[in-house]
Amino acid sequence: MTCNQQRERWVLNSRPSGAFKVSDAKLITDVLDICKPSPGEVVVKMETLGLDAFLRTMLDAEAFHGGEALRGAIIALETSPRNSNSLTPIFMRLATLVAAVDIGKTLPAFGIGTIVASGVNATFTPGTVVMGMFGATNYAVVTPGEMGPFPTLPIVPPELGLGLLSLTTGITAHVGIYNVLGSPKKDQTVVISAAAGAVGTVATQLAKRTGAKVIGVAGGPKKRAFLEDDLGVLAVDYKAGDVKGQLDKLAPDGIDFFFDGAGGDILDEVLARINYNSRIVICGAASQYSGNLNVGSVQGPSNYLKLAEKDSTMKGFVVLNYMWRIPFAMIDLIYLWSTSKIALRER
C-alpha cells in the first residue's frame, strides 16, 4: 500500500445566504500519510457519500439540527424501556458532529468506507466497513466514536446504507408512515410532500402499500413523471402553479393523512383540506432550510386552527426516538428491495 495518498476535501468557503451556491464551497487537495494514524485514530477510505437535505442547516452559524435538540432526543433513549442505552454514547457523539460547520472545515456528509489503517489502541481494524459522518472527502481520519460498523449482507450493496437503509432517509420514512401516528388506512387519501426526494420516495411507496390513495407533491415535470410513471401515484407539481386547484382535483373528498417533508405553502394547503380525525406527521421542512430556520423567518402554518376544527392531530418526530423500530424497519425495507417491490432513485 502506498502511504502518501492525495486527499480531496470540499470545505465551507463562505456561509450561504439563502440557497447554497458553488462559490460557498472550495476544493482542497493535500497529501495524507495513511499508514501512520495517531493513537486511537483510523483512516477510512470512502466508497459512497450521501447528501441529506438537513445538512444545509449545518452551514448556518447556528445549526438548527445540532446541539441540544439532538441531545434531548438521545437522552430520551436512556429512559425508554424499548431502547438499549448501549447505543447512547454513539448517538451522543453524533449530536456533537451534527452541529454548525466552521468556515474552512470539511462540508458535512454521511459516508460508508473501509478502514485502511488503524492507530495504536484503535478499536477497529483495517478491512472493517464502517459508516459515519465523515464529510465530503475521499479519506477521513476519525476516532471510533465518530463511526460504527456497517452491517454487511451478501444481498445488500453498501450504497443502500446511505439511502433505503439510512437512519435519516429510509428508516425515517418507515417510522413516519407506520409508527408516529399509526399507518394510513385502506382507501384513505394520503399526501406526501417532497415526494420525489430521498425520504419522500420511500414514504410514498410505503403509503401506497397500505391500500391508500396516495398523492405525491414535487417540483417540476420530471419529478411529476417519476411519481406518476415509476411509483404509480397521483402527483401535484407545485412549480406548475395553482397547487390549490391541483389538490382540489386530486383530493375532492379531503385529506386523511399527510407526511410532510416540505413545510411552507404546501403545509397550509393541506391543512385547508384535512378531514375529521386526520393525521399530519411532520418529518422536515425542506422549503425552509436555505437560511430561514436561523434568521427568524420560518413560514409556519397560518391555518393551524383547522386541527381543532377537524379534531385532528399534527405531530413532529425525530427518528432517534424510535431506535427500537430500526430492526423491524430494516428487515421490511430489505425485503421490499430484494423482491423489487420498492423503486429507488440514485444520483
Where do the domains of the chain lie?
4-162, 170-338
pLDDT of residue 288: 66
CATH of 170-338, one of 2.70.70.10, 3.40.50.720, 3.40.309.10, 3.40.50.11540: 3.40.50.720
pLDDT in tens, 258-279: 999 988 899 999 999 999 999 9
Phi, psi of 332 (to 5 degrees): -65, -45
Mean pLDDT of 196-207: 96
DSSP code of 91? Answer: H
pLDDT in tens, 133-152: 899 999 999 988 788 888 77
Rounded distance, CA 188 to CA 330, Å?
Answer: 26
Question: Does the fold of domain 170-338 match that of domain 4-162?
Answer: no
Its CATH architecture, for the domain 4-162, is: Alpha-Beta Complex (3.90)
pLDDT of residue 84: 45
Q: Is 8 helix (H, G, I), strand (E, B) or coil?
A: strand
pLDDT of residue 295: 54
pLDDT of residue 70: 42
Give the H or E element holding residue 68: helix 68-79
pLDDT in tens, 75-113: 444 444 454 444 444 444 454 455 678 899 999 888 889
Query: Whole-number mean pLDDT of the chain?
Result: 85
Rounded distance, CA 257 to CA 189, Å?
Answer: 6
Quote the cell numbers at residue 28.
482542497
Q: Is the predicted pLDDT of residue 169 greater than 60, yes or no?
A: yes
Mean pLDDT of 177-182: 97
Q: Is the predicted pLDDT of residue 293 greater than 70, yes or no?
A: no
